[in-house]
Structure 1
């Protein structure tokens, strides 16, 4: 099944010879420039949702004793089954919040201290993975990927003694669920970036 991401974030699918365990996502709205490490260190805009004016978001943060918002925006998140859903991503100086914008429910809170590293390609695609060994990982897509990575690196540095690892590779694995490992591969094609997401088969005993 091939999946196409439209500019509005919706997904279009059509039949192909691809395995049912494999999804192809195209990035027609992105350029072809190779991403460099220096691009991570630029000024960040921060809160794109005006969180202080949203009582639902502020209630979620206050329940966790959190109030310093470093970044807030809508993103696309891949579920364990491979579906893409719109979510609100909030980053504070202590945690990452993933919120359902329709129900205003907190779907997941990840302490920054639990994040082992970030995985992203060397290309100008929108995808990034947050690797959390003690739980399960999180694959998301945002046109503000570079800014999100920069905020996470800076926040981790300011609250701990270590530098958050940022792994640049055009192929990486992530745990979509506790018992599900998927591989993401990025390839330059005419008109954009092709992203292939496939399920890794479990080794036989």
Structure 2
């Protein structure tokens, strides 16, 4: 079953790089469903209660969107059910299709599942669990102040995750709330139009966002060591 048939298209333009974008830098231009949004469709979330109040530009569709958590029907998916059962996780807080950026800059289709204990990343084409991240290992979330779909999960003891989702706001809120309810600390959320993340054990990348005419320009560049 193609779980990605309803995924909104994210248009990405990578810079010409002989090392397949794993070297000096990449540039991603996200428009429309990819998170660009026209100026008339964006507004400050000053009147919207919650985590994003006054912190970033949001689309009206994002502000008024209903949140239902499981968008792919985990209970009816035998493979996902088997994974969660094996790990002892029963409560699914969020599940949806996302795009994950690899260390080399490529985008991979993934299914993101969040439970009250962990984050799961599953390859939907091979039905393979690619990664399980304990919620306790997550230090902070990084995202821009603009209306794009990108967010990074920072895990100090491992390598970090840069992803894109049309439901980024819901994902961030779910992670903050579950962390608050299951531990004695509140997950930090950093809003900045430029942030770094560890794309691999020995590779740091910088993500920079810029508002341009017709959308948001996102540049992902490898940071060279001093």
Q: Is 92-101 or 35-44 further displaced after alignment?
A: 35-44
1:22 to 22, 25, 32: 25
- 1:70-116 CA-to-partner distances (Å, cap 9, x unmatched) read 00001000011111000000000110000000111100000000000
- SS of aligned partner of 1:129: strand
Question: Measured at CA, do residues 134 and 13 of structure 1 come closer, stay the same or move farther in structure 2, by a change above 3 Å?
Answer: closer
Match of 1:158 among 175, 181, 200: 181
Q: How well do the aligned residues superpose, as a CA RMSD in angstroms?
A: 2.4
1:51 to 74, 84, 95: 74
Q: Residue 70 of structure 1 aligns with which residue?
A: 93
- Say which structure is richer in strand: 1
- TM-score, scaled relative to structure 1: 0.89
3-state SS, counterpart of residue 178 of structure 2: helix
2:115 to 92, 98, 108: 92
Give the number of aligned pairs: 197
Other structure's SS at 2:108 match: strand
Separation in structure 1 between the aligned mates of residue 131 and residue 149 of structure 2, nearest angstrom = 21
Measured after TM superposition, the shift of residue 15 of structure 1 is 4.4
Whether 1:79 aligns to 2:102 is yes
Structure 1's unaligned 5+ residue stretches are: 1-5
The match for 2:49 is: none
Distance 2:175 2:100 in 1: 17
Counterpart CA distance in 2 for 1:22 and 1:164 is 30
Shift of 1:47: 0.1
Deviation at 1:8, TM superposition (A): 2.4
**Does structure 2 retain, via aligned residues, the 8 Å contact 1:117–1:130?**
yes
Alpha-carbon contact 2:11-2:31 (below 8 Å) kept: no
